[in-house]
Structure 1
């Protein structure tokens, strides 16, 4: 598991602390200033899509706060606190879980946070709760948590990691420090991928698809099917409108081998049609993500109207929702590509 994985398990922080967080300098500076000035909030909401480093930031903050070294050397990576933290066994850094996959209920919060936070830290100055997937907190769970956030013990800190801060109650947000994670710049993305040993010729495609999301980029780099899948999708995007119907169905059938990753491709397709939409409106090739595909994008932009492009984008969202609802894979993909074919005639 990589340090940019959203899960709270294995984590190799070494002694680097916030140096392990790529990009997001403002968030690093905020946390470091809070630590050095002693003005640490009792609740933080760290928001951003999966893969941007929310967990990395939260863990760096927790390790640094609990480190026993002199302030200038934190986190040292070798003190008793850091050793416990790096082994995943720090008694005062807690990762609350939840039994139901789609919701964090009020009982989860009462048992693992509200009741537990009243017990003083075992061996550290702070007791820190890192709540992943906080967008799954039910309204009842958030309301139950509110009193603890309003009147926390001096040692209590809660970090709520969410892909959607708008899902949190305004009463929670107004009493928290809200930090928004951002994608990294192209140079940082490329450097990180090289550091991880990703093939140089794959990096440009990974960067386009992940849009500066390091976690997503690394996940796709580790997928043997990714490049092949993208090449197949790209060929279909360019030729579906002219391809004989029987051949189109054969190509769609081949996509079944990428069944577990096909939803990642929907994002790729949305970027493609986003380029077409923007180019149709501006005629500016400098705004294209797929600049090297200018000729193909220009051709579709000339023959496809705004309504048709928006219809295709809606069809991609519908296909994604159908797969979530376990609608037949082949049928879902056929309906999607038939819509694309019809709109691009």
Structure 2
């Protein structure tokens, strides 16, 4: 598991956690809010380990019995709330794993830490069941609610928790990590950093993903030739895109980075900051043919497509409209 020194970014949150532990001002409940891959689980695990470390310092020692138990996932006082249904944390999950156990004192440490991952999946009944404990928690209990969407939690839960927002990490830190720790070549590190948009977990996933290269290649082929395509060819392209339905965010982000490159080159004529350097001849050509307004229209259409897909609008229809907008602009 390591220590807080191994965490890339999030220095303000780490400082806050360490200060709370050092001064004995640990709250009963925290919400760690950040997108997938932002580092919520790592921070929560390190927080829990620190609270239960036998050395009593501001970060885990990694050598005591408690730290070794936590690292192996067998600490009796660190409880990860699980759920059988993939998309829901039910009221029964909360009652049996929290309500029925919360009054049992810690087995060996000063704290009993409950970690609820994907807390936004709790049903309203589950949240209300948790709220009863949050209103009058035992002294030794600490709740860590990990979520990608704190707004999905009841206002009454939000008001009883300390909010820790995981913000985007600087690109320079992500690139450095990819190159120095993962030994990723510089050109690939540039690409993964650009697509990760401040999310280290996503950058690591992309660097290790063969599938990502396929998606990127498919998107690039579409973008290079879309302006010459007939409507029937666009329909065929959309049919191929369906293969990447589960990774559609990555696919759309690739298109966004492409047009960011087009816009950047059009405005500055600088090649150094272009991500798709190997496609520079196509980037230059599109920058010459596209207007600033046209590029802006495409970028707005990408945001609209993402919102529609989140709202479960028909996939093929959304992608066809997007492709037509790109072709026309």
Moved more, 29-38 or 222-231: 222-231
Misfit runs of 4+, over 4 Å: 244-260, 270-276, 282-286, 288-294, 305-309, 319-322, 331-334
Gaps of 5+ in 2: none
Map 1:123-138; keep pairs closer than 5 Å: 123-138=108-123
Measured at CA, do residues 103 and 305 of structure 1 come closer, stay the same or move farther in structure 2, by a change above 3 Å? same
For 1:121-200, list aligned pairs within 5 A.
121-194=106-179, 195-200=181-186
Between 291-300 and 188-197, the greater mean CA deviation after superposition: 291-300
Compute the displacement of 1:272 (Å): 4.8
Q: Deviations over 1:149-206 (max 9, x none)?
A: 1211110000000001111111111111100001211221012112012232211111
Q: Distance in 1 between matches of 2:309 and 2:83?
A: 29
How much is the aligned-residue C-alpha RMSD, in angstroms? 3.1
Q: Is the Cα–Cα contact under 8 Å of residues 51 and 216 in structure 1 kept in the other structure? A: yes
Give me the whole-angstrom Cα distance separating, in 1, the residues matched to 2:187 and 2:40: 28
Structure 1 pair 159/243, CA: closer, same or farther in 2 (3 Å)?
Answer: same
Aligned to 1:201: 187
The answer as to 2:285 corresponding to 1:265 is no
Question: Is 1:45–1:177's contact at 8 Å kept on the other side of the alignment?
Answer: yes
Separation in structure 1 between the aligned mates of residue 166 and residue 274 of structure 2, nearest angstrom? 22
How far apart in 1 are the matches of 2:13 and 2:303?
34
Moved more, 226-235 or 292-301: 292-301
Counterpart selection for 2:202 from 210, 216, 228: 216
Shift in alpha-carbon separation, 1:33–1:229, aligned structure 2, 3 A = same
- Distance of 1:302 and 1:114 partners within structure 2: 57
1: CA distance, partners of 2:295 / 2:187: 34
The superposition leaves residues 231-268 of structure 1 with CA deviations (integer Å, 9 ceiling, x where unpaired) of 33134224312235565556555556655534421233
How far off its partner does 1:270 sit?
4.2
Displacement of 1:139 in angstroms is 1.8
Q: Given the alignment, which residue of 54, 62, 77 partners 1:68?
A: 54
Q: Tell me: CA distance 1:84–1:300, structure 2 relative to 1, closer, same or farther (3 Å).
A: same
Per-residue CA deviations over 1:41-77 (Å, capped at 9, x if unaligned) read: 00000000010101111001001110112526x4111
1:99-114 to structure 2, matched below 5 A, reads: 99-114=84-99
Please tell me whether the aligned partners of residues 258 and 276 of structure 2 are also in contact (alpha carbons under 8 angstroms).
no
Q: Which residue of 1 aligns with 2:229?
A: 243
Equivalent position of 1:301 in the other structure: 291
Q: Distance in 2 between matches of 1:112 and 1:298?
A: 61
Aligned counterparts, 1:309-328, within 5 A: 310-311=300-301, 313-318=303-308
Q: Shift of the alpha carbon at 1:341? A: 4.8
* SS of residue matched to 1:116: coil
Distance 2:274 2:116 in 1: 35
Match of residue 8 from structure 1: none
Partner Cα separation in structure 2 for residue 148 and residue 135 of structure 1 = 17
The 3 A distance-change label for structure 1 pair 297 and 290 is: farther
Matched residue count? 320
Kept after mapping to 2: 8 A contact 1:270/1:313:
no
Indicate if the aligned counterparts of 1:98 and 1:104 stay in contact, CA closer than 8 A.
yes
Residue 240 of structure 1 aligns to a residue whose secondary structure is helix
